[in-house]
Amino acid sequence: MPVPSSSDTPQRRWRIALVAHDHCKADLVEWSLHNRDVLARHDLLATGTTGGLISEALELPVECLRSGPLGGDLQIGSRITEGLVDLLVFFWDPLEPQPHDPDVKALLRIAVVWNLPVACNRASADFLISSPLLHSGYAPLRPDHEANPRGASRPSSPIGAAPS
């Protein structure tokens, strides 16, 4: 399937979720500052503390959900299942145990289940934010888990599209 060029399709606003564990927050804020111009063209949401830091640093609106350990990761996961998040940037700390590790695993799992682009570190975030697909009308395909509940390898609709 050919990828539309930015001249074929107008740029769309992505709904970008930003999450970072404590030891990674400064790195995500720095990355966000470096990419402020791109992020400003999209809708941002984040877990509580991370969202507050990013909103203050970027002077941009960020919808702040609960802190990760208080259910923020689960809130973002819920939004993913509803088609209300298009891209997840989650700087997580693989060397530090988290009290909410099951929630972290659930968030990453649900992002994969719904075919969401995910960046788990600065390098992968750089690739996603600079992708020509982000700057075109591209929409990842959303699996139809009702029609194929055993693992939809055949996506049916773009993320954010109303279910049929």
Give the model's pLDDT for residue 100: 79
Residue 125 sits at the vertex; the CA angle it makes with 18 and 64, to the nearest 5 degrees, is 5
Task: Note whether 54 and 32 are within 8 A (CB).
Answer: yes
Give the up-direction half-sphere exposure of residue 29: CA atoms within 13 A in the CB hemisphere.
Answer: 17
Amino acid at 119: A
Active site residue 22: no
Closest listed residue to residue 54, CA positions, set 28, 78, 77: 28
Catalytic residue among 73, 86, 93, 126: 73
Please report, in tens digits, the pLDDT of each residue of the chain (164 residues total).
Answer: 344 444 445 578 999 999 999 899 999 999 999 999 999 999 999 999 999 999 999 999 999 999 988 999 999 999 999 999 999 999 998 877 777 788 889 999 999 999 999 999 999 999 999 999 998 888 888 888 888 776 555 544 555 554 44
